Structure 1
Amino acid sequence: MVEELGEVGRGGGHVAADELRLLIERAERLEEEKKGIADDIKDVMAEAKSRGYDPKAIRKILQIRKKKPDEHREEQSILEVYMQALGMI
């Protein structure tokens, strides 16, 4: 059974201490996993750099690959228009 605190929560209801603690602990574990994954990605980028690849270019490619092709083309078109307007190309 979920233990309830004697405190009234922000929404006016009682706070279930065990449930709240479990949610917080779960979020903490996920944050730890996220840090581990970020460290792994950093290692991959360091390896890529050591092999002569440009990590910035790789990160840009990863960004592009997350998008739909039409979305990317539209962004590129807008970027080109803006760069032309600024005399950059």
Structure 2
Amino acid sequence: MKLAGALLLLGAALLLTSGGDCGLCPALDKKVDIFFKGTPEEYVAYLRQFNDDPNVLENAANIKKCSDRTLTEEDKNQAISLIEKIKASPTC
């Protein structure tokens, strides 16, 4: 797995386990889903609901495009699978 994929998985794991409650709020859960499965346009449109700063949206689009270029479908599927396993874990 590429470094970007490994960092993404680490970030997701830290995010999900940091608060002791592994449930993601619905908005964050949808954001993660759109990030991995959606287009840059869909991702930016979703983020625009929460922040309309053009610089933030441009950076978000660039990050999404970079991840789409860098991560393989296998990397994305592994990240999604990891998040689902963490959310479903009884020890979480």
For the aligned pair, the TM-score class normalised by the smaller chain equals under 0.3
Instruction: Name the structure where helix makes up a greater proportion of residues.
Output: 2
Larger Rg: 1
Which of 1 and 2 has higher RCO (CA within 8 Å, sep 6+)? 2
Q: Which has the higher strand share?
A: 1
Output the TM-score relative to the length of structure 2. 0.27
Q: Give me the TM-score of the superposition, normalised by structure 1.
A: 0.28
